[in-house]
Each structure stands twice: as structure tokens, then as C-alpha cells.
Chains A and B, each alone.
Chain A
Amino acid sequence: MYRYDQYDQAMVDARVAEFRDQARRRLEGKLTEDQFKPLRLMNGLYLQLHAYMLRVAIPYGTLDSRQLEKLADIADKYDRGYGHFTTRQNIQYNWIKLEDAADILAELASVEMHAIQTSGNCIRNISSDHFAGAAADEVVDPRPYAELMRQWSSFHPEFSYLPRKFKIAVIASEKDRAAMRLHDIGIRIVKRGAEVGAEVYAGGGMGRTPMVAPLIRDFVALDQLITYAEAALRVYNRYGRRDNKYKARIKILVHELGAAEYTRQVEEEFAHLLSVGVEPPLAELERIKAHFAPPPFVSSEVETPFEQHLSTILEANGGQGSAFGRWVRRNTHPHKAPGYVSAVISLKPAGGIPGDATSEQMRLVAKLARDHSFDELRVMHTQNLLLPHVRIADLPAVWQALDEAGLGSPNMDTIEDIIACPGLDYCSLANARSIPLAQRISERFAETGRTEVVGELKLKISGCINACGHHHAGHIGILGVDKKGVENYQLSLGGSEAEDVSLAKITGPGFDEDGVIAAVEKVTDVYLAKRSDGERFLDTYRRIGMEPFKEALYG
């Protein structure tokens, strides 16, 4: 994985010193909150309902064990023994004191981490496919390109005060595991013949006005990728609205101009920038790529076919139907190297808080990464963790350790694998609580054994219209609203953030907490009654439409 060079480290260290001075002046009363707020936000420090909240960037979700152990130490030393992994592959601490914030940033800097650009109207953390560098279906590892974009976007002087926040995702496979087209800019690395380049999508997003990003360029040569991104940002920075924050995201500009006109302007700017020469030298990309060289996979199992090898391991450990077997079937993902899989660590125990991990759990995962995954870890936008490179032969030991720590739930992409924002339990923007719904739904389905019966069903819950819980992209989405001071929940169906991207549609009038949980059960009842062989919930919904579900809910 990428390691800081002297420039990266110097930039981060300088920012820590700068923030330490700013925080000191605030604590001494020399800065007002109005003066201090933009400064703390530039360093990821929010003020939430109960305390300050620090959001730490995890570029493209990649971590090593040393970094995760540092995150665990910070949780113990400065917070309350846990952290919350977010839907953009970051981690948040909920109980931070202002007087500790600079010390925390210094501790992060000691392991090549920071909280820069995790808030504010700038380019946020670059996200990516959590299986990057491991997935059997990827064209290339997208992380070097994500890292190049991280370096380009960090402290970019022209893009430090954009009309609104700006989110970029980079993937490199047909499967979209990063909600790429629901980002301000989405990049898919592709191959055209032997040449590798990028498709560029612009103007996607969730929030109060969800949009799926249209394709604006079907192939950008990789030695022009930064130039093209710069052109796309420049047009947005120049013409994006600054008079109304609800219309300031790039999706509104692209929608109002039309994708064709926006693209024309980007192409014009691109041609201009090519003549200026803003692209970093290819040598820099090559330097970055060297950090992402594949680990030294053991090839002794290459001669054994994958399925046969896996079958042998399963039979020796209780078979397909055992807890281990269910976990392997549900939580492992095909790997590009023979004899390996990627293993998803569920942070969604039935009845648990989605995305929360204790410091002890973090340390265990760090140890497993060190012992079984070449010291690599990933944070998934689904609020889970991932060991990207696990030998099939190591799976029983990995699973046993996870299970003993409450991390072995076999529920990836099931109705228990709920994405939920912090909601009104923590967030100052929220209108309703999200987490209690997730807890009750996962518990209900786990208790009744319906999780496996229902199969793949992505349920996503947001506590307000900002949609941090991705409810627009849920097969089932739930949005919490404030109805005259009382929590109320709108149900929506048919969303997807994958390669079959679509936006969910609202079923009808909202429900109270008990009502929306009952509604989720009714919706799954309709699915089970109507599904054809092999159909996921989403497939059935698309085939039969909204009406049967509405009939069950309101009929």
C-alpha cells in the first residue's frame, strides 16, 4: 500500500501544527465560533449533538494493521472505546474534546493518516472498490489512480472553496461496488484493446435531489486523467451555484445544463488545459504503482482447482451448513490469486449498531490482517471491514477468531447487512433515529431465520434527507423525517448503487417506528410469494412493479 514520502509527511505535520495553534486560540477565547468553525471543519472536526466528532480519512478504504491499531488506541485514549465506520470508507469518533483534537491529529500523522478534507466544500476522501487489488474481475488495481487523485486533490488551491462538497469514486471492474455513479465524479478504469484508460461519469449524487451520473467521456487516456478531472472541476467551480446550497452540487449543474452541454464545456476546458500542461509526469504514477505491487502470494495451492480446494476445507470444518460454511458462502469473495479469497468482516451483528467497532475488535482485526492478509485491510462503504487476501486454508482460523469476537456474522448483502447513518442518536442534522430501526430489523430477521431465505436484499436507512445512509440506493430504503416533532419513516423500493444503478421510489405515506418495521416484513412477504427461481428482491420488484407491494402495505 502507499507510504508517505517526505512531501506527504511534511504537509500533514504542518497542518497539525497549524491546527494546534488555531485550537489554542479558540480555547483561549481569541477566536469566535464563527471564525473557528471553518478551520475545524477543514480538519474533520464537527460539533454534533453530544460532543465534537472527528472524521478521519481512510483513502480508498485501505489500511494496514499499524494504522488500525492506532485508531483503536485513539478510541481508548480520547474517545469511549469505539469508532464508527462510515458509508464513505472513513471512521468517526463521537466523543472528542476540542482540547485533545490536535494531539489526536498528531497521533494520526505518526501513522500517515489525517482528517484533512473530510468536511467542507472541497474534494473529499477518494473512495474505491473495497475489493481493489484483490478482485478476480478487476481490469487493474484502481488504487494507484485513486492515490494519484488524492495527491492532486489534497490542498488543491483552486478547489478549496467549491460551491459544495465534492465526492469522487474510482473503480476498475464491471461490477460497481463503490456506488460510483452516485458520486459527483465517478471513474471506471477500462481497457480498450491493450490500452488502459478511464470512463468518466459526472453529476451523480444522493441527498435531497438524487441523480445517477451520466457518462461524459467513454475513454480518457491515463496520462490525461488528472487533466480531464481538473477540467470537469473547473467548469463546476466556475458555474456551480453558490447562491443556494441546496442547488450547489454538480448534479444540479449537469442536470440544468444538460449532460451534453456540460460535457462540451468540459471538453473545451480540457483542450485548453492540455495546452497548459497540468498533468503530473507518468513517472509519478509509476512511483505510486510500485506501492501497490501485489503481495507475495503463496502458489502451492495453484494446482488444486478453487472449488475443490474450498470444498475440502469446508468438509473438514463442518460442511456447507455449518456456521463456518454459511460464513464462507456469504462473506468471502473470489480473488485474483489462486488459493485466496477476500473475507468480509461483518460489523452488523444482529441487533448491533451498523459500522461500530470496539477498540478490542479493531485490534483483533489488525492482528488477523497481519497474520493472514499480508498486513492489509479495507473499510467497505457498507460499513464493514475486509481482509483482502486470505488463503483458503486459513479461513477456519480466521472465522473462529472473528466469531469469538462477535465479528463472524454470515450476512454480507443480506437484510441484516443494513447501512444506517448515525441518525438522531448522534447527528445534529438528523430528523429521526436510524440505528434503532437497523437493530430491530436485523434482530427480527435473524430470530425468525428469514435472512437466508430472503437472500440478497440491501436495506439502507437515512435519518434525514442528506442521505448518508444511501436510502435512495436501497433495494429497500428508509428515510426518517420529522412529522410535527415526531419521528416518521418513508419507505422506498427499487434502488441500487451497483452496476444496475437505479433510484428507489417511495411507496406512499410514511410509518411510525413499529409501522415501518412491520412494513419491511410485509414487503419481504410479497417478494417471497412472487419471486421466480433465482430472483433477488430487486429483480422481483423490477419485474412486478410497485403495485403488489403498495397493495400489501396500504390496501
Chain B
Amino acid sequence: MKILTGNDLRSGAVTWWNGSGWSLFVDDAVDVGKDAEEILAREEAARRVNVPYVIEASIDAAGHVRPAHIKDRVRALGPTVRRDLAVPTAQKTGWDWVI
């Protein structure tokens, strides 16, 4: 599946396209399929999110949306070395999910 991600303009926080807006939780990300470029163009013009981009992802066995690349999995949860600063998603997935 293809999902969209970027960083919120005001806070810089990692965000995921949920079909109607931007969510802080990767599990809210939806498959944008062939609409990716159209949504990206529209959202770039809206200037709410910095440099949104499309990535590959999958649904793992537990039902979580899992970005294909480790960099985006680190973005999804937070720094692996400061688990106290993680987004709440991390509590559901566990940190092994990143590697």
C-alpha cells in the first residue's frame, strides 16, 4: 500500500494522511493508491504540512500500518533511545517493530 507522510508546519511533528486530514498516528494512515500525486499536490498547496511524500507500507500481522523503510518506522514511533518521548503508537506496536 502507499501512504502519505510529512511534518506538521507549525510543530514539525510527524504526520500521516488519514483520508481527510493529517494524523499523528501511523495506524490512521490510509492507502492512497493512485491518488497519491493528486493529494500531495493539493496538500503542498495548502501549506499545512512540510514536504509531504509518498511511501510504501504494509499492514502487519497485528493490524498495524508498517512503513517499509526503517527511517519512516523511526519517524512513526520516535527515537528508539528515548522511549519516554515516543508517540502513543509505540505502546501498541512495541519497539521491535522498528527494526
Cα A96 to Cα B50 with chains together (Å) = 15
Docked complex: A479-522 residues within 8 A CB-CB of B: 485-487
Binds A, one of B5-13, B31-39, B57-65: B5-13
Q: Say whether B69 contacts A485, CB under 8 Å.
A: yes
Q: Say whether B74 contacts A26, CB under 8 Å.
A: no
Q: Say whether B81 contacts A353, CB under 8 Å.
A: yes
Contact with B along A431-453 (1 / 0, CB 8 A): 00101100100000000000000
Q: Say whether B10 contacts A50, CB under 8 Å.
A: no
Q: Say whether B11 contacts A424, CB under 8 Å.
A: no
Kindly report which residue of chain A lies nearest to residue B99, judged by CB atoms. A487
Q: Say whether A27 contacts B10, CB under 8 Å.
A: yes
Q: Say whether B70 contacts A47, CB under 8 Å.
A: no
Q: Which chain A positions have C-beta within 8 A of B82?
A: 353, 425
For chain B, the bracket of interface size reads 20 to 34
Docked complex: B76-92 residues within 8 A CB-CB of A: 78-82, 85
Name B's interface SS: loop
Q: Say whether B14 contacts A435, CB under 8 Å.
A: no
Cα A80 to Cα B78 with chains together (Å) = 13
Q: Taking the complex as formed, is A426 at the interface, i.e. its CB lies under 8 A from any CB of chain B?
A: yes
Residues A97 and B12 in contact in the complex (CB < 8 Å), given A49-B71, A49-B74:
yes
Q: Say whether A439 contacts B12, CB under 8 Å.
A: no
Q: Say whether A50 contacts B12, CB under 8 Å.
A: yes
Q: Which chain B positions have C-beta within 8 A of A299?
A: none
Q: Taking the complex as formed, is B75 at the interface, i.e. its CB lies under 8 A from any CB of chain A?
A: yes
Kindly report which residue of chain A lies nearest to residue B70, judged by CB atoms. A485
Q: Which chain A positions have C-beta within 8 A of B69?
A: 485
CB within 8 A of A98: which of B10, B46, B70, B78?
A: B10
Q: Taking the complex as formed, is B68 at the interface, i.e. its CB lies under 8 A from any CB of chain A?
A: yes
CB within 8 A of A486: which of B13, B47, B70, B80?
A: B70
Q: Say whether A51 contacts B74, CB under 8 Å.
A: no
Q: Say whether A425 contacts B12, CB under 8 Å.
A: no
Q: Taking the complex as formed, is B1 at the interface, i.e. its CB lies under 8 A from any CB of chain A?
A: no
Name A's interface SS: mixed
Kindly report which residue of chain A lies nearest to residue B78, judged by CB atoms. A50
Q: Taking the complex as formed, is B51 at the interface, i.e. its CB lies under 8 A from any CB of chain A?
A: yes
Kindly report which residue of chain B lies nearest to residue A433, judged by CB atoms. B80
Q: Taking the complex as formed, is A174 at the interface, i.e. its CB lies under 8 A from any CB of chain B?
A: no
Kindly report which residue of chain A lies nearest to residue B68, judged by CB atoms. A485
Q: Say whether B70 contacts A50, CB under 8 Å.
A: no
CB within 8 A of A27: which of B7, B9, B99?
A: B9
Q: Say whether B71 contacts A32, CB under 8 Å.
A: no
Q: Say whether B10 contacts A425, CB under 8 Å.
A: no
Q: Taking the complex as formed, is A306 at the interface, i.e. its CB lies under 8 A from any CB of chain B?
A: no
Residues A50 and B47 in contact in the complex (CB < 8 Å), given A425-B79, A436-B81, A485-B70:
no
Q: Taking the complex as formed, is A33 at the interface, i.e. its CB lies under 8 A from any CB of chain B?
A: yes
Docked complex: A4-50 residues within 8 A CB-CB of B: 26-27, 29, 32-33, 47-50
Q: What's the minimum C-beta distance from B83 to chain A, rounded to whole angstroms?
A: 11
Q: What's the minimum C-beta distance from A510 to chain B, rounded to whole angstroms?
A: 16
Q: Say whether A33 contacts B51, CB under 8 Å.
A: yes
Cα A485 to Cα B99 with chains together (Å) = 10
Kindly report which residue of chain A lies nearest to residue B10, judged by CB atoms. A99
Q: What's the minimum C-beta distance from B16 to chain A, rounded to whole angstroms?
A: 13
Residues A98 and B9 in contact in the complex (CB < 8 Å), given A47-B50, A435-B81:
yes
Q: Which chain B positions have C-beta within 8 A of A97?
A: 10-12
Contact with B along A64-106 (1 / 0, CB 8 A): 0000000000000000100000000000001111110000000
Residues A425 and B68 in contact in the complex (CB < 8 Å), given A26-B9, A50-B14, A98-B12:
no
Docked complex: B1-50 residues within 8 A CB-CB of A: 7, 9-14, 46-47, 50
Q: Which chain A positions have C-beta within 8 A of B80?
A: 425, 433, 436
CB within 8 A of B47: which of A32, A80, A94, A95?
A: A32
Cα A425 to Cα B7 with chains together (Å) = 16
Q: What's the minimum C-beta distance from B77 to chain A, rounded to whole angstroms?
A: 10
Cα A51 to Cα B6 with chains together (Å) = 10
Q: Taking the complex as formed, is A292 at the interface, i.e. its CB lies under 8 A from any CB of chain B?
A: no
Q: Taking the complex as formed, is A219 at the interface, i.e. its CB lies under 8 A from any CB of chain B?
A: no
Q: Say whether B50 contacts A33, CB under 8 Å.
A: yes
Q: What's the minimum C-beta distance from B94 to chain A, rounded to whole angstroms?
A: 16
CB within 8 A of A49: which of B9, B14, B68?
A: B14
Residues A51 and B13 in contact in the complex (CB < 8 Å), given A29-B47, A33-B51, A424-B70:
yes
Q: What's the minimum C-beta distance from B45 to chain A, rounded to whole angstroms?
A: 9
Q: Which chain B positions have C-beta within 8 A of A52?
A: 12
Q: Which chain B positions have C-beta within 8 A of A353?
A: 81-82
Q: What's the minimum C-beta distance from A78 to chain B, rounded to whole angstroms?
A: 11
Cα A426 to Cα B79 with chains together (Å) = 6
CB within 8 A of B85: which of A26, A33, A80?
A: A80
Cα A485 to Cα B13 with chains together (Å) = 23
Q: Which chain A positions have C-beta within 8 A of B70?
A: 424, 485-487
Residues A50 and B13 in contact in the complex (CB < 8 Å), given A425-B79, A425-B81:
yes
Inter-chain pairs besides A50-B75, A425-B81, A485-B70, 13 sampled, C-beta below 8 Å? A48-B12, A50-B13, A52-B12, A94-B79, A98-B9, A98-B12, A99-B11, A425-B79, A425-B80, A425-B82, A433-B80, A435-B79, A436-B80
The 5 closest A-B pairs by CB, nearest first: A51-B12, A425-B79, A52-B12, A29-B47, A435-B81
CB-defined A-B contacts under 8 Å, sample of 15: A27-B10, A33-B51, A49-B14, A49-B74, A50-B14, A50-B75, A51-B7, A96-B12, A98-B11, A424-B70, A424-B71, A428-B71, A430-B71, A439-B81, A487-B99
